[in-house]
Amino acid sequence: MSQTELDKVARKILTDNDQGGYTVPTKGLYPYQWNWDSVFVARGFATFDTDRAWREIELLFEGQWRDGMVPHILFRKDDPSYFPGPSVWGTDGGPIPSSGHSQPPVAATIVRDLLELDASDAALDRAKLLFPKILQWHRWFMAYRDPDNLGVIAVIHPWESGRDNLPDWDDALRDVEIKDVAPYERKDTSHVDPAMRPHKEDYDRYLSIVAACRKVAWDPEKVARTCPFFVADPGITFILLRACRDLLALADRLGETAAQPEIEGWISRMETGAARLWNAELKAHVAMNLRTGKQTDGVSSASFLAPYAGLTDPEVLKPLQEHFDRISAKIRYLMPSYDPEHQAYEHLRYWRGPVWAMVNFMIARGFAEAGDPGRSDRLRRDTAALIQTGGFAEYFSPETAEAAGGGSFSWTAAIWLAWARPSQADQAA
């Protein structure tokens, strides 16, 4: 398929998955509005419909909770094809039925991007309306996912990380007692090969965490203190640190000077705290179980987000570049979600090995900003090759380019349009 044809298919995926102002990730498997999916989708819409891009983010924030949290799923309608639905979560935090936790906060970064693409008065007005909502969301993260001011951001559930069955969660998840889980029927494995999805025992523990949080009525302070799963995540930490830098830039541009000292404080706190996640033996940032203090032992794709967060000191950047080169020698397509030399790596099982386009987008951006265009472009070219080979799949095998997970996937289409598609320079070469 030619680039022109792929461009048309990508735009059609976004418009076909449009539910009237918000976009589902893909029909069937994910029939609701997902948090960070929507924000990346907005970046794709911005390449051909800026009004629709803004609308995607605005509708996401319609579901913001009273305490500032923006949920990871908004159940705008009850669809029996998805489990667990709104009745399982039992939340009452906002105006739209939703899940009880959040997802990686990329909104400030993409809003800043949208203003770079369109600096009209209308765009500035829309950004001004979103600014206090994003500020409140960041404030929620700093208060309830870093309650001890450690400078690292925890997740209360693997789903909150956006990287559901990552090997980094295995040990902490095993400590979760399976209880208060009613009989249930998964729906995901009816849409996708079970070999590409989390195991049944993982799901039992996922639902046990939901039940534990439901018992405290999703009170964010109580959840932070009592949830059986509380793991500092380099992915969330680095994405939020980057988002705070972009929020600070937005504050300056929009004249929100009163918010600047608070945002600067968050940035300083996370810059210092990130060292807690540095595994000196691996020479990479890893996850840490905050209930036990134990670090994980594998390099994940989130480890490569340190430059995206602005952590580009040589003692961080050089080891990452070495890991990049080591991994690129082991597999064909970058960046696998987990180290292919780790015993827990699986090239087709969701977040235990496959390549995800939007993570490549963030990693590549960090390397480019750190003065490493070669590795940045390698990621872009690999992402383009995967899409050209396997279509707009949810994720891909880093070994074979096999398309996996859901098809006609919104954020993969968005990343193609916004970043991965070959440039004129590529075509000339």
Return the active site residues.
164, 394
Q: With the C-alpha atoms ordered 155, 73, 69, 393, is the resulting torsion angle positive or negative?
A: positive
Instruction: Label residue 20 exposed, middle or buried (CB < 10 Å: 0-12, 13-18, 19+).
Output: exposed
- Whole-angstrom CA distances from 339 to 302, 324, 347 are 11, 10, 10
Would you say 45 and 56 are in contact if contact means Cβ atoms under 8 Å apart?
Answer: yes
Alpha-carbon gap, residue 155 to 231, rounded angstroms: 5
285 φ/ψ angles, rounded to the nearest 5 degrees: -80, 135
Alpha-carbon gap, residue 22 to 18, rounded angstroms: 6
Look up tokens 């001890």; give the residue: 148
Contacts of 222 (CB under 8 A, 6+ apart): 216
Cis peptide before 373, with omega less than 30 degrees from 0? Answer: no
Rg of the chain (C-alpha set): 20
Q: Take residue 5 and report the two structure tokens written for it.
A: 């044809």
Let me know how long the chain is.
429
Contacts of 322 (CB under 8 A, 6+ apart): 283
